[in-house]
Amino acid sequence: MYDRICQSVDRNAQEIIAWRRDFHRHAEIAMLEMRTASLVASRLASWGYSVSLGESVCDMTHLSYMATPEQLESHYQRALGENPATAYLEQVRNGATAVIGLLDCGEGPVVGLHCELDAVPVTESTRADYRPVREGFASIHPGMAHTCGHDANLAAMLGCAKALSEVRDHLHGKVKFIFKPADERGQGAAMLIPKGHLDDVDYLFSTHLFGRELGVPGADIMSNFPETLATGRMEAVFRGKASSPTAHPQLCKNVITAMGTAITNLQSIPRHGEGVTRVQVLHVHAGEKRGGVPEEGVMEISYAGQTMEIRRFLEDYALRIFKASAEMHGVTCDVHQTEGFPPILSDAELAERMESVANAHVPGVCVRYVPHRTLYGTDDFVYMMEKVREHGGLATDTQQISDVQGIVHTGEFDYDESVIPKTAKVFAATVYDLLKQAVKEETP
């Protein structure tokens, strides 16, 4: 049966890569993934999956970001012109773009497979020797580009879904594909979890594409994700007193000098002896005109630590700096904290299961499990992992390892597509291993 799964993916490999290129060419950013979602839903339905999408699967309350009605309508009209899967497009025109595909194979465990839908809000390069341009699949949507690798994840998961549909009579349990919107906005998990999609999941998987420098030599897939950092953000609003900088400088309460003091000291926060730290000033703005001292200034910072305790150390230090900087210059400072993400930690039992299954049954693919690696990034998938663990389930995030060109999240990022069918095989084989049983008897 493992051979049958691998043969299915091999047979469809060129089509799987074509899906990647289609998603890449029609990149869509957070809350606007209409064409992408409707095509995913259409393909899943054609393979026998029960498909749900739109507000029935998305909690649209308490969103930190939402596209405007004008953006939604404009993008819907564009998707309508580009998309052959119009049967599903209407259900996602309001920005509720998540898709759930369920393959119900009777009693047994529930395996969840997570995948992101959205692209990055950047304009892709038009340089003639850039491969997506040269081969005709560069994004045709200005300000939207798949330069984070989500197009690879999408194609691999669809390849996996198709292969599993062909062996459904040999599965005992349920396969649930969870296509998440707004990953780059960090709010996709918050849209899905309240709807209960993780409540019955026993095993949860995800994947992301990385360059070879973030894997280990020879590996095509890492079955566990590196341990990420615990993150957070703060927005500090400084308020002072405006005045003429020359006629009455003694009356000024200058927010810019207070912000400068804060910036200098934020970059001087001591490192932590028990793990990695990161502090960055992301945005500073004060004043709207020349010739006057502004009354208000805004600063945004991000910070991250290897553990939650280290993150709290950074938070406390930053809050003291903002308060002291404001007091030093006679201004006020109000700080709004945005909760970030805790570290991603893969369950060893599940990661090792994927490694052993793949290396035994998927020829030509090397899967490695290597614990205690660190990646200085983050992802809201961690909340989905935590939800599954609440009822005793297991979860692992994985890495597709590929030769890449360019820098992620910039206008030029491309990779060796051969990793996509490899990933589809590994995931399909692992799901089969978790749900395998003798062939079901046909009802006479």
CB 51 within 8 A of CB 99: yes
Residue 208 in marked binding region: yes
Residue 114 in marked binding region: no
Distance between first and last Cα of the chain: 24
Give the span between the Cα atoms of 65 and 32, in whole angstroms.
12
Residue 417 in marked binding region: no
Residue 372 in marked binding region: no
Give the span between the Cα atoms of 113 and 164, in whole angstroms.
12
Over the Cα atoms of the chain, what is R_g? 24
Q: Closest by alpha carbon to 390, among 144, 199, 190, 207? A: 199
CB 348 within 8 A of CB 369: yes
Handedness of CA 176, 178, 221, 164 (dihedral sign): positive
Please, which residues bridge with residue 334 across strands?
237
List the strands of the sheet with 230-239, edge to edge.
277-286, 296-305, 230-239, 332-339
Residue 150 in marked binding region: yes
Q: At what angle do helices 150-165 and 34-46 cross, to 10 degrees?
A: 20
Q: Which residues are annotated as a binding site for Mn(2+)?
A: 148, 150, 184, 208, 409
Q: Which residues are annotated as a binding site?
A: 148, 150, 184, 208, 409
